[in-house]
Structure 1
Amino acid sequence: MRASPILQKAIRRLPLNTKQGPHNYYKGNRVGSHGTHTKWGGYVIDWRKVRTYVVPELTNFSLTPFVAMRIQKRRDNFAHTERKSPMDGKEYIRKWKEEGGNM
């Protein structure tokens, strides 16, 4: 089965995927290599290629996490109420402030 000529033109413009490429085509996920393979099947990490992240100093940091540590998971049954989910956005913010969240 083949696609129509118009659809074939559209498919040519789309990014190549693993089903359209050659049998050994591997697309990857854009992470790049961190080293090289050896001829014996091992892998040697090149530490110049490894990503390092600079973490800022967080002492006296005024922001708090959005979820208070004291909030317990609710185990209520909401099938018979007017709300569609266990906790909607407004209810979540109200509970978060009640449990000690700063906003």
Structure 2
Amino acid sequence: MQPTPILQRAIRRLALTTKQGPHNYYKGNRTGAMGEHTKYGGYRIDWKKVRTYVCPDLTDFNLTPFVAKRIEVRRDSFAHTTSGSPMDGKEYLRKWKEDGGNI
């Protein structure tokens, strides 16, 4: 059973999948080669092609996590807020500063 000629043309324009290619076809994930295969079945890494990520200097890094670790999740009532209603943004920031958060 074969697809219709119109569908065959549409299939040819789509990206090749591993099921449509030869038995040893490997599509990869667009990362690129880091080296080359040797004739003995090994792999030689070309260190000029290896990606390196440089972490910035964080010695004077003053930011903290936005959520304080000591804030408890309370879903039963809104009595812990000053207004007695659901916590709005200003109330959340006040509670966060109170529990050790700093801006």
User: With structure 1 as the length reference, what TM-score do the two structures score?
Assistant: 0.56
Q: 1:4 to 1:64 in 2, by over 3 A?
A: farther
User: With structure 2 as the length reference, what TM-score do the two structures score?
Assistant: 0.56
Structure having the higher Rg? 2
Aligned residue identity for 1:22: P
> Aligned-residue CA RMSD in angstroms?
3.6
Aligned residue identity for 1:41: G
Alpha-carbon separation, structure 2, partners of 1:15 and 1:27 = 10
Alpha-carbon separation, structure 2, partners of 1:8 and 1:101 = 62
Aligned residue identity for 2:21: G
Name the % identity: 69
Which residue pairs with 2:82 in the alignment? none
| SS at 2:36 equivalent | strand
Aligned residue identity for 1:6: I
Which residue pairs with 1:12 in the alignment? 12
| SS at 1:60 equivalent | coil
Structure 2, gaps ≥5 residues long:
74-87
Structure 1, gaps ≥5 residues long:
75-89
- Residue range with higher mean Cα deviation, 59-68 or 47-56: 59-68
Shift of 1:34: 1.4
Alpha-carbon separation, structure 1, partners of 2:6 and 2:48 = 48
Which residue pairs with 1:56 in the alignment? 56
Deviations 1:14-65 (A, max 9, x none): 1111111222221111111212222332222211111111222222223334
Q: 1:41 to 1:64 in 2, by over 3 A?
A: same
Which residue pairs with 1:37 in the alignment? 37
